[in-house]
């Protein structure tokens, strides 16, 4: 049974089929398809949060960021389509499309109007300005 353990992690059928006919085994052209989740890095400084989110394969027009107080939601439609020639015979197609999303809560509310976003080389960078809290105000007692 221990001899099978290396095969199980990569797929027993794939390993056996590749060994039987190695010329027919074709690796995916674009990786494994849609990411399971948007990966983010979040940094904080006194005036803002800086969020970097990996969203490869998405067009800037297909990325949506929603802010509700201190909750940030990122949603993106991702598609990978290969060009085809009418003279080509399609042997295998590994196109993918779908939607990924991610929401998380920050430690302070966000000032949406003072915040900025840019998308470059598959990475969405959000500079999320913190809302200034008024301090030193007296609470009225009824």
Domain count, the chain: 1
37 in any annotated domain: yes
127 in any annotated domain: yes
pTM: 0.64
53 in any annotated domain: yes
* Average pLDDT of the segment spanning 98-115: 92
Percentage with pLDDT > 90 across the chain:
45
**Per-residue pLDDT at 135:** 62
pLDDT of residue 105 exceeding 90, the answer is yes
Judge contact between 124 and 116, C-beta under 8 A. no
Distance in angstroms (rounded) separating the CA atoms of residues 87 and 63: 35
Distance in angstroms (rounded) separating the CA atoms of residues 32 and 14: 14
**Per-residue pLDDT at 113:** 92
Q: What tokens appear for 89 in the block?
A: 């015979």
* Average pLDDT of the segment spanning 87-106: 79
4 in any annotated domain: no
Confidence of residue 69 (pLDDT cuts 50, 70, 90): very high
19 in any annotated domain: no
Q: Which domain holds residue 38?
A: 33-82+93-132
14 in any annotated domain: no
The residue assigned the tokens 């840019």 is: 118
CATH code for the domain of 47: 2.60.40.790
61 in any annotated domain: yes
Q: Residues near 9 by Cβ (< 8 Å), separated by ≥ 6? A: none
51 in any annotated domain: yes
**Per-residue pLDDT at 6:** 45
């Amino acid at each position: 049974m221990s001899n099978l353990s290396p095969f199980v992690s990569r797929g027993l059928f794939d390993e056996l089929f590749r060994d039987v006919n190695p010329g027919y085994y074709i690796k995916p052209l674009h990786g494994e398809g849609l990411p399971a989740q948007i990966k983010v890095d979040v940094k904080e400084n006194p005036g803002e949060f800086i969020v970097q989110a990996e969203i490869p394969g998405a067009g800037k027009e297909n990325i949506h960021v929603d802010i509700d107080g201190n909750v940030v939601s990122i949603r993106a439609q991702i598609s990978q389509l290969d060009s085809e020639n009418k003279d080509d015979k399609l042997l295998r197609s590994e196109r993918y499309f779908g939607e990924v999303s991610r929401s998380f809560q920050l430690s302070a509310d966000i000032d949406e109007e003072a915040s900025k976003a840019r998308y470059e080389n598959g990475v969405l960078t959000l500079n999320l300005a913190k809302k200034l809290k008024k301090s030193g105000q007296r609470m009225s007692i009824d």
